[in-house]
Amino acid sequence: MDLLIFQKGFNFSQDGPGNRLVYHLQGCQMRCPWCANPEGIAAAGGVKVAVSQVVDEVLRSRALFFDGGGVTLTGGEATLQMDAILELLAGLKEQNIHTALETNGLSARIPELFPLVDCWMIDCKHYDDDAHRAMLGHSNKAVLQNICRAAQAGKRPTVRIPLINGFNAGKREAAGFAGLFASLNLRDSIAVELLPYHDYGKAKYDKLGIPYTMTGKAFVPVEIREKMEDVFRGYGFSCIHT
């Protein structure tokens, strides 16, 4: 079986613990206007690589997985290549390689990955279903269901919230997220990471000839993020930085 990979490289601590070999897999069903990897959105693209070749590359890189490192799958959206990543992750687990997944949380098949993924990062972009659907074209119901499933499976997922000023950033919005997560009994079973908007991907849009619709108003001041973290902590949630 093959994987479509549009980018790979090492990253320390930002996509799971330690030094990690990160594979960005092609394709995503969301169209977040702030996406930093627009080249990975289309289903077509990337480089086709056999799963066996990826396993071999990982094993040759094993000496570099220091400080609890390993392999992270991200995207695009890795779960769109579910059968291939199941094969890959099973092969990595056989070799005792630490595995991590960063996902938008939409796939109904996510529970199939619980035995194979050690570290979970699930995006939640808005607590309000209507706002989520209006901006991203998808309901947040599957996302929340999968966060709960991962929590109930003992995976202690990190719920990542990309902060966009004017969309989901502020004390009121923090209370919306925290209140929702509390109602789902997630206080002791998730960590929360707030990721302020950045425009590092803007040059990619220009190169691809795709309009970049985000403006400078989307940036979130540090003090807003800190106030939001205070709200989460007030509800009993743990906030982390990576």
Note the pTM of the prediction, 2 decimals: 0.96
Mean residue pLDDT across the chain: 97
Q: Into how many domains does the chain fold? A: 1
Checking if the pLDDT of 158 tops 90, the result is yes
Rounded to whole angstroms, how far apart are CA atoms 208 and 210?
5
List pLDDT tens digits, range 1-59: 999 999 999 999 889 999 999 999 999 999 999 999 999 999 999 999 999 999 999 99
CB 83 within 8 A of CB 77: no
> For position 129, which CATH number holds?
3.20.20.70
Handedness of CA 52, 86, 122, 40 (dihedral sign): positive
CA neighbor of 122 nearest in space, from 137, 141, 144: 144
CA neighbor of 224 nearest in space, from 171, 173, 167: 171
Contacts of residue 185, defined as CB under 8 A and 6 or more positions apart, other chains included, come to none
Domain membership of residue 101 as a residue range: 2-239
The two three-digit tokens of residue 41, written as one number: 């959105």
Rounded to whole angstroms, how far apart are CA atoms 101 and 107?
13
| pLDDT at residue 68 in the model | 96
| pLDDT at residue 8 in the model | 97
